Amino acid sequence: YKTQMESISIPAISSGIQGFPKDKCAEVMFLTSIDWALQQDETCPLTQIILCNYDSYTIEFFQKKLNQIFRPPPPPKKGKKK
């Protein structure tokens, strides 16, 4: 690794004034971060990725997308006993 960073903060740049859709921004940031993290091995010093936003409106989009990505699977349907 070129750096020994243990954490990084990534802001949701362009999801506001530049007009990039906030829900798509959240999806790309979450899935890209997850994908990158899954490709690393135990020698990677980076242990924390912080996705940061400064306004509560944008944070709401990120919370909704996070809940969609990590939504627990529905419980199995109970079938009729034979």
- Calpha distance 1→68 (Å, rounded): 32
Q: What is the pTM of this model?
A: 0.75
Largest Cα span, the chain: 62
Per-residue pLDDT tens digits for 21-46 = 898 999 999 999 999 999 999 899 99
Nearest alpha carbon to residue 23 among 66, 71, 54: 66
Per-residue pLDDT tens digits for 55-81 = 898 899 999 999 998 887 788 888 766
DSSP code for 72: P
